A and B are shown apart, each in its own frame.
Chain A
Amino acid sequence: MPDDRVVITAVGPVTPVGVGRAELAAALAEGLEPVEIGQLNVEDYLASAKTYLDPNSAYALCSAALALKDARLTVNDDNAASVGVSFGTRLANVTTVESYLKMLREQGVKLASPLLFIHGYPNTSVSLSAIEFGIKGTSFNFNSGRFAGLQALIQAADELGSGGMSVMLAGAADTYTEVTRAAALGAPFGAAMTLALERLEGASARGAQPLAEVAGCGLVRSADDAASRALADAGIGASDIDWLLSDAADALDISGRAHLTELIKVLGDCGAATAMLGVALVALAVGEGKPPAGLGLARAPRNALVVSADDFGAAAIVLKKPTD
Chain B
Amino acid sequence: MKRARTASLAFALLIAAAACGSSGGHPAASAPAGSPTTVAPKITTVRLLTHSSFAASKDVLAAFTRETGYKVKLVQPGDAGVMVNEAILRRNDPVADALFGVDNTFLTRALDAGIFEPYVAPGLGSVPAALRVDSQHRVTPIDDSDVCVIDDKSWFGHDGRPPAPTTLDDLTDPRYKNLTVVENAATSSPGLAFLLETIARKGESGWTGYWRALKQNGVHVDDDWTTAYESDFTAGGGGGDRPIVVSYGSDPVADVVGSSPHRDTPKVGVLASTCFRQMEFAGVLHGAHNVAGAQALIDFMLTRRFQDDMPLQMYVNPIVAGAQPPAVYRKWVVDPPGASSIDPAVISAKRNDWIREWTDLVVR
Are A and B genuine complex partners?
Answer: no
Interface set of B (CB-CB < 8 Å, partner A): none
| Chain A residues packing against B (C-beta within 8 Å) | none
